[in-house]
Amino acid sequence: MLLPLAPEPTMTAGLSGKTYLVTGGAGFIGSHVARALLSGGARVIVLDDFNDFYEPRLKEANVRPLLDHPGFRVQRADIRDTAAVRAIVSEAAPALADGAILHLAARAGVRPSLAEPRLYLETNVTGTLNLVEAAREFGVRKFVFASSSSVYGERSADGGPFREDQHVSKPISPYASTKVMGESLLHTYSHLHGLRVVALRFFTVYGPAQRPDLAIHKFTRLIDRGQTVPVFGDGSTQRDYTYVDDIVQGVLAALEYEQSRFEIFNLGESRTVRLSRLIELIEQALGKKALIERQPLQPGDVPLTYADISKARRLLGYEPATPIEEGIQRFVAWHLEQQAAP
């Protein structure tokens, strides 16, 4: 479960009193953003289908602390359902006139997308089309979209950070392809209909309430239980791990961004960490050693992600504040608290 509502230092007065439709708002990132918005005086409508990609009870737990807040409500619907999306956006549109649609809902993950590419296409592309078409029809003028660092593909030859102006025409997983298509579709709507769009490329987000299938959560759970940890490859892959509070800071800034009709920003820590080093940090925080089980590298996985965040720093005032050493300590503390809860 999330922490109780508390003032959020990342919230600004410019968002207070406005209404935001947050798709996927019962999920990991979405529930953190919803809590921050409510804490700062905004109103939040969550659109989520509470599907079984991971246990729905965890999503229920994410929103439970928010249900009594007068500025919060939940709409249960699948973004693939055109009629349902249209009805929800139509009803909310007057309140969204000075707010935005924050589209965080998606089928996520590279490896699961290899097994179910059609589901990923229908959810991540058709679902996005349903939302942006409803925004156009009912006059919602701002749309913030959660994209992914996976759009960069295997862009690691020079080892340098990934920049937003680099071509993303060669994704290597169905999931990454759907995010490229989502960005392209939203650019088209921005160009044709004057919709203000900000696409945010998230880099490996972690923190309390992280999805249980993701590496940091999974590794922490397995190491704590003394079970073997599957490690794909030799541990040399590198990721730009970003603490969820820093992502929330960037999302809130994007909701206020007004300088151009369409913009893409990287939101990362701008530092790479080897998988082997990540495991060491979790071991240190738990005070336990990992039992490593080596497995082959997986198709669709990239060797490196590394965010150039200079653009987000310049235009959004984005400044990540939680290094991986501190973030892992926080995450493990949350994990241990959950294990001790009745």
CB neighbourhood size of 232 (10 A):
15
Q: What is the pLDDT of residue 297?
A: 78
The answer to whether residue 175 is catalytic is: yes
Residues of the chain above pLDDT 90, percent: 84
Q: In this structure, is residue 174 part of a structural domain? A: yes
Residue (of 324, 336, 233) closest to 278 by Cα position: 324
Domain count, the chain: 1
10 has pLDDT over 90: no
Predicted TM-score (pTM) above 0.75:
yes
Q: What is the pLDDT of residue 298?
A: 78
Q: In this structure, is residue 338 part of a structural domain? A: no
Q: In this structure, is residue 335 part of a structural domain? A: no
| pLDDT confidence band for 158 (50 / 70 / 90) | low
CATH code where residue 95 lies: 3.40.50.720
Q: What's the mean pLDDT in 90-103? A: 96
Buried/exposed 149-183: b ≥16 CB within 10 Å, e otherwise: bbbbbebbeeeebbebeeebeebbbbbbbbbbbbb
The alpha-carbon radius of gyration of the chain (Å, integer) is: 19
Q: In this structure, is residue 8 part of a structural domain? A: no
Give per-residue pLDDT as tens, 185-202.
Answer: 999 999 999 999 999 999
Q: What is the pLDDT of residue 2?
A: 42
115 has pLDDT over 60: yes
Residues of the chain above pLDDT 70, percent: 94
12 has pLDDT over 70: no
Q: In this structure, is residue 329 part of a structural domain? A: no
Give per-residue pLDDT as tens, 240-299.
Answer: 999 999 999 999 999 999 999 999 999 999 999 999 999 999 999 999 999 999 988 777
How far is 54 from 28, CA to CA, in rounded Å?
11
Q: In this structure, is residue 54 part of a structural domain? A: yes
Quote the mean pLDDT of the chain. Answer: 93
Backbone angle region of 280, left / alpha / beta, with phi > 0 → left and psi within -120 to 50 → alpha: alpha
Q: What is the pLDDT of residue 6?
A: 37
Q: What is the pLDDT of residue 159?
A: 62
Task: Collapse the DSSP code of 305 into the 3-class scheme (helix H, G, I; strand E, B; otherwise coil) and give the result.
Answer: coil
Range(s) of the domain holding residue 140 = 16-205+242-270+308-321
114 has pLDDT over 80: yes
Q: What is the pLDDT of residue 9?
A: 43
| pLDDT confidence band for 236 (50 / 70 / 90) | confident
Q: What is the pLDDT of residue 299?
A: 77
How far is 139 from 99, CA to CA, in rounded Å?
11
Main-chain phi, psi angles of 326, to 5 degrees: -75, -40
Residue (of 255, 261, 263) closest to 191 by Cα position: 261
How far is 186 from 20, CA to CA, in rounded Å?
18
DSSP 268: S
Strand order across the 100-103 sheet: 72-76, 43-48, 19-23, 100-103, 142-148, 196-202, 262-267
Angle, CA 260 vertex, CA 256 and CA 266 arms, to 5°: 70
Residue from 120, 175, 241, 306 carrying the catalytic annotation: 175
Q: What is the pLDDT of residue 3?
A: 42
Q: In this structure, is residue 171 part of a structural domain? A: yes
Q: What's the mean pLDDT in 328-340? A: 94
First to last CA, the chain: 12
Distances from the Cα of 342 to the Cα of 337, 338, 339, angstroms: 10, 9, 8
| pLDDT confidence band for 8 (50 / 70 / 90) | very low
How far is 170 from 100, CA to CA, in rounded Å?
31
Beta strand pairing status for 72-76 and 242-243?
A: unpaired
Q: In this structure, is residue 63 part of a structural domain? A: yes
